[in-house]
Structure 1
């Protein structure tokens, strides 16, 4: 420990600190600087601030020559950006030396894999700063730090939503120093290493306090951005790498090591040799990624189609897990002779979880791989997806349970619960030979010859070979029916492209739903403050479904249903603010608004807590369209919309005429029925999925479908004498039992069975899965719901406990509860000790092991954020829809746009420029530009069986040009001959310009009337 001042101590850097001598041994040729590193302030003045200024839009008017420190220049923003970076690198080489690694760790902090995650987010940093500055958290500055998304009580509104900017505002009013700070870059890195290993507040506080004493407010603002890894300086790591060395990006792709990029490529004149440019054993690489496409299947197939002799492409199911690379090499020092390493897509080392050898006690996977490799395989690198598999259901478990399943497998390799399963779909290295330049077809053959699948532990991911676009739709429908994410199309003739998204791999996901009509009319019941551009104002809204009171009273309840943030223009926000001004009320999580909770169904523990809430009768109705409906625990109704998007404000409707819960459920039920009637039959023989919404046929307790008695060979007695039960679902723990078998078990032990919870006042509700009926009961918050495991525990305890002359019921424990009302939570929690050890029941060996593990002191574990587990494109795209802000490069993705050239020769240069710029904007935003309307006889042969058609949008310059009627006539003629075609929207250039300006896709109806169904 090193002294900070007085009794305050800073923790050592811990396991992430490396001795200089060790580094010299590991990197004998690494460069050494001849002088101390630059001041941290120089990083701001020479790099961060100039880059930040460069990304700002230039002032209107004629182009002006820029005057820099070396005279005037007329560089464009891209050239200027490279010039700024080059000047900083040149200064570093001149004044410091060739080792730029200390600076790069701060310039691109999200690429530094040698420093662990800090475990600090905005709220925690805000609390620490409040303590360091010794201010009242309820003061104006304290409030602004802890509620950084909200408009400040007197702070500049432009800083709302920008946490680092908000910190700068507060720090500027109470700085420890106003002059330039004295901390050098190397010292900042040392303190950040210490901060990354600090897991408790009393360790983090002195480190941030030292930064506060030795940095001015501007320096602290950039330091906070580094800690949050949210730089946003207008330059990506690729730009920095490219300026540093021509091979830097390549080396980072094959090693994921910022340190290697800086140390091995410190001389731009020394290039990587051939054998240094490929992947290496036990070196994490950056994997190939799939392009996201929502174009027509024909267009996607055209992009990857080969010659007429080989027009095939492959279709794989997109797995819902974590991308994982496996490295294995022969090593006689390891028991079993093979050493393993596992890395995620973001280069997080998971070897501790899955095992470093066949006999690793922590090897939740490797202990099962003793026979997984054929004789003669000495080393190998495999690429695949790690998923969680439930052996009882013989189906994958939704994403999010992988780590807990691996830890359970570590404790008990023979456990029958969910386990990790690695699905391998590619190979990059085999027996000292790199395979990335071989075709996918050849690489797949190598996989099949090199490994032996281990059932439900280690398998080769299957694929379907296809030659036409028509073969995609049935498979997509099938995987969607089975609750999968979608498909990946692959070109079997393609090489493996490190750290690239390419058309050789394309993701396919369902497009926006049309089954529910144009849109759903929902009531706004809450609002969330935004960040960045939309900071300081409500940028997304919590929407609800109206609840009809069965008694006919004028109920005002609205159940939360989805969060909408995409599709709004500045005018839309202003319009909503105008109609709801003065009616919003803040949500205090410590003292939730009882009025709102009552209106939302009386559930005090609802998960979605908006920043502001509004009564339904004082709110507005909006039209929303979405991609699909999915199950969600986050919203009151138990369902939600995926990728919801604002369509328009319905001022012609009040909250009483908005969509109700029952109307939506009826609509959903009718849609599902129609889909089944349409040939939507799915072969479930390949795998079974847990169905949460499929309605089971009515059954009579104790009988199967053939009216035969179900004999239950379980214990009998009178333990449940006098008790009434309502069994709602089956169970899989501790053993699989159907609903009928559970009912028979209760009856054989003296209990009575009813098919409703209102049969008697004291009916006990039993459930182990969230069905519509269970969710409805849970949302009423009137009755507790008990898991079936309580039945088994009561019977088992009475069998083994002979001390009692009569049967007795076990008191309820937290493990027995599926749902607990607020007033019963404390009572039930008192039936176990602090380690969940029951006071009245004998625990099993497995429970005892869990209790003992919980009793051990453990260090706080640093885990990756969701962004480092889930594929970044899916996360950002979904969050963009939720928050209403989509990255520019993805704004128009999924659209196929035809730009109509007017037959009238226009001499207006402005129109031509607007048309050209609009086309470039859509291309940059990920759209596919098509050359024709795709309606000729030749193209019809390819597209009439597909579910998505080209184009999705037709862009014209102006409605008054006289061209629209001809386009409508052509499309109408085509539609009359083939009613399977979807009619594209006809929009003006203004729709593209305004969508780009608002950074969200606007509803086409408002910009130009579309072609409707005829």
Structure 2
């Protein structure tokens, strides 16, 4: 039996997409799509006039219009760079040809004008002269080829994948391949949202998709646009998009909840998970509908979770909604994502999966989603399962009415290093995939003043697509490696995070304008020496910018997590830009040492303070402003060469000498210094060559760094030139004048000066003596952090002797015991203190600077008092027993302090 998709050319669908993308106004776009849909349905009626039971539907076209929702063939294994290689190979383009380079460097605005960053548009112009004017494939045939590509990718069949791609390229026009490429990248960019497309198809389509999560079922069940789906069926073993929480403020919660009572729950730091049970069959689905049954177990006899809970249930079937969390059975503590484990993996060291259940959607064949949350909670508390510690537990909740109760709950979550709290309307029904159903989430980062804000330097950029095409839309931020000399500015930076939200479109455009003159394309074959990425060039930017030309972003995030994607070994979870700090010097950005200290003090969480009922501290919301394209900025005056016709020579001091000025100081600009050189009979060059006498520079910027790496030129401070002009004589260079010395000059200095820059032959002035003493004072005692770095670098196998090098420990000892061998009274923690000092720790006299507090298991009288003190501190300390010290030494590594948290008496 013929189906519509076999009769409708793919070219017709592409024409529709061209019209929609060029049309202005959402209603006009929707009208175009409705006309196409009506024509499809009319054609369907003609084809199947005598067969009302046909399975033919709009699904083949809808899966192409909403490729991001199509789960069955989501893995093509093809991204822009891979697609470029396939086009080059299948079209027989030379690898070094202009066309091939445009495809590979599609993000480079210098290679591609207008459409930089949009691979599909760049490919269109390359393919247009090489493809037919109109394709011959139907929508059904295109779907078949895409399914083959997905199956070949899954089977790692490269030949089959190339064959399917070749079929598409040979039988389609450049216009069709442009849209096909976007479908494979799952981003059409036509200005028509998922909700709008589903709404035009059927008024119940979006709600049904949120429950069934299947476009095919939506098209099959809602073929008749006039028939309403009055009840959305939540069925066992059929995943649905869960109900979500909207953002809220604890200070406005009474108004938000209409002054009614509400439920308060802890927001756990795990993975949202649905458990579907029917008899002895189980299925597990994530928030996005991914099936993790193979991990947790489909029966009571397989997986790492189902066997443990199979005897807990009182019901035959049910659907539970909850959070899958890591639980350590030995220490009876919960893990967090910041500890670097994935609860969805089959093997997790030290942790086992535990499902914390907070809702029920179905029980014994009856759907419960239309019942109130209060009633669903009652059913869940009494009738569904017997809780099992460490495996299957009920989320604790309490009823409250005031904002103070909400603030207290949030502060308790902050003290417990939890992600936040949930506030729920007891009368709410369960609405899949909505944030407007009466559930609210409150996290520390939603309340201004509670979160630590990090000042990070921008070192790289990623070209945007769609509305952000032609702009750097995301930025790579880095941490500065502290220089050996504290007075020096940092010269090495470690990649740390990628951020792309928090600023308005206008702010993004203005920020791009400021940085535009300084971007350099990042070359994998020759990366900049100052920027260190993770191994394998992970998170490699499209372009890089030297920090001295860049700016600092003030960033707020939920927490710091482990990551191998960045050189720092960690990154931020949910980062967003709070402010662009053009007022702050680039070298004042956060350092790797400061990040290390912050992680140690905060245990990864960035909530540094507690909420206060008197201060709302609401983060400001940025209004969307009208965006108007500005003219491309011209070269600033300070970077232009001077007008030599206006300079009069006054002496022959620098006659015959060529100098190159890279930069100057605030009091003497580059042009001022060049004028003085010309007045003294010298000549100037914008780029140093073999005849250049020296380079003048005060700031070590990217150009200066390049010259330092070459090592062929002497780089001298502008103060030397000014001294020569003031004294009307050419003064020989001294070490204090130099930014960098060539090999010849270095050899001369070693024969004439000592290691502190003091001359062996010349009389020393007061100023030179002060400079020498400055260098002497820079020789200082090595810090604990530096000692730790030395130990790890030169004594990696013996570094356990400095195991506690970065720990500042307070020994809480109020009691004494008699030592029978000496008849001397001593503290029971004295031996632990000796062990700590022997292994590098610093023992503190008070709690002020302590990172750890050790208590003895035989004296827990002050545990409660210490916990209360810790709540008042901005930087929390870890409280552990003496067993933590002993076990760390035995394991030769710092163990998780949570396992040794002492119980209060």
> Deviation at 1:227?
1.6
- 1:300 matched to 2:250? The reply is no
TM-score, normalised relative to structure 2: 0.62
Correspondence for 1:287: 242
Q: Which of 392, 395, 400 is equivalent to 1:466?
A: 400
Alpha carbons of structure 1 residues 625 and 678: separation in structure 2 relative to 1, 3 Å = closer
> Deviation at 1:220?
0.9
1:518, 1:358 → 2: CA distance? 45
2:468, 2:606 → 1: CA distance? 41
Correspondence for 1:868: none
- Which protein shows a greater Rg? 2
1:163, 1:422 → 2: CA distance? 43
- Superposition CA RMSD, Å: 4.4
- 1:485 matched to 2:597? The reply is no
- 1:340 matched to 2:282? The reply is yes
1:909-946 superposed Cα distances (whole Å, 9 cap, x missing partner): xxxxxxxxxxxxxxxxxxxxxxxxxxxxxxxxxxxxxx
- 1:450 matched to 2:376? The reply is no
Q: Is the contact between residue 92 and residue 100 of structure 1 (CA under 8 Å) also seen in structure 2?
A: no
Q: Is the contact between residue 459 and residue 547 of structure 2 (CA under 8 Å) also seen in structure 1?
A: yes
2:17, 2:566 → 1: CA distance? 41
1:591-623 superposed Cα distances (whole Å, 9 cap, x missing partner): 433x224xx6x9877855333333334x14445
SS class of match (1:198):
helix
Correspondence for 1:913: none
Correspondence for 2:275: 326
| Stretch deviating more after TM superposition (604-613 or 420-429) | 604-613
1:457-484 superposed Cα distances (whole Å, 9 cap, x missing partner): 2221222321111111222223234433
Q: Is the contact between residue 452 and residue 608 of structure 2 (CA under 8 Å) also seen in structure 1?
A: no
2:136, 2:607 → 1: CA distance? 68
1:24-44 superposed Cα distances (whole Å, 9 cap, x missing partner): xxxxxxx97378331111112
Correspondence for 2:575: 643
> Deviation at 1:627?
4.8
Q: Which of 598, 616, 623 is equivalent to 2:547?
A: 616
1:250, 1:743 → 2: CA distance? 53
Correspondence for 2:306: 366
Alpha carbons of structure 1 residues 648 and 583: separation in structure 2 relative to 1, 3 Å = closer
SS class of match (1:557):
coil
TM-score, normalised relative to structure 1: 0.56
Q: Is the contact between residue 343 and residue 353 of structure 2 (CA under 8 Å) also seen in structure 1?
A: no
- 1:168 matched to 2:124? The reply is yes
Q: Is the contact between residue 124 and residue 178 of structure 2 (CA under 8 Å) also seen in structure 1?
A: yes
Give the number of equivalent residue pairs. Answer: 639
- 1:697 matched to 2:809? The reply is yes
Q: Which of 589, 598, 601 is equivalent to 2:524?
A: 589
2:223, 2:510 → 1: CA distance? 56
1:695-722 superposed Cα distances (whole Å, 9 cap, x missing partner): 551679xx9962146999xxxxxxxxxx
Q: Is the contact between residue 426 and residue 443 of structure 1 (CA under 8 Å) also seen in structure 2?
A: yes
Alpha carbons of structure 1 residues 366 and 576: separation in structure 2 relative to 1, 3 Å = closer
Instruction: Report 1:150-299 matches (<5 A).
Output: 150-151=108-109, 153=111, 155-157=112-114, 159-175=115-131, 177-178=132-133, 180-199=134-153, 200=156, 201-272=158-229, 277-291=232-246, 293-294=247-248, 296-299=249-252
Alpha carbons of structure 1 residues 239 and 576: separation in structure 2 relative to 1, 3 Å = closer
> Deviation at 1:290?
1.7
1:34, 1:440 → 2: CA distance? 45
1:151, 1:350 → 2: CA distance? 42
Instruction: Report 1:843-882 matches (<5 A).
Output: none
> Deviation at 1:500?
2.3
> Deviation at 1:123?
2.6
1:699, 1:605 → 2: CA distance? 44
1:666-723 superposed Cα distances (whole Å, 9 cap, x missing partner): 999999999999899xxxxxxxxxxx999551679xx9962146999xxxxxxxxxxx
Correspondence for 2:865: none
Alpha carbons of structure 1 residues 266 and 121: separation in structure 2 relative to 1, 3 Å = same
- 1:44 matched to 2:44? The reply is no
Q: Is the contact between residue 321 and residue 399 of structure 1 (CA under 8 Å) also seen in structure 2?
A: no
2:36, 2:444 → 1: CA distance? 42
- 1:353 matched to 2:283? The reply is no
1:387, 1:693 → 2: CA distance? 32
1:530-550 superposed Cα distances (whole Å, 9 cap, x missing partner): 233333343344444555534
Correspondence for 1:396: 335
Instruction: Report 1:601-750 matches (<5 A).
Output: 608-617=539-548, 619-622=549-552, 624-627=554-557, 630-631=560-561, 633=563, 643-645=575-577, 647-648=579-580, 650=582, 654-656=585-587, 696-697=808-809, 706-708=829-831, 740-741=885-886, 745=890
1:116, 1:628 → 2: CA distance? 30
2:243, 2:834 → 1: CA distance? 55
Q: Is the contact between residue 462 and residue 543 of structure 2 (CA under 8 Å) also seen in structure 1?
A: yes
> Deviation at 1:368?
1.2
2:611, 2:3 → 1: CA distance? 71
Q: Which of 67, 73, 79 is equivalent to 1:109?
A: 67
1:521, 1:401 → 2: CA distance? 24
Alpha carbons of structure 1 residues 572 and 725: separation in structure 2 relative to 1, 3 Å = same
Q: Which of 262, 267, 275 is equivalent to 1:313?
A: 262
> Deviation at 1:136?
3.7
Q: Is the contact between residue 339 and residue 561 of structure 2 (CA under 8 Å) also seen in structure 1?
A: no
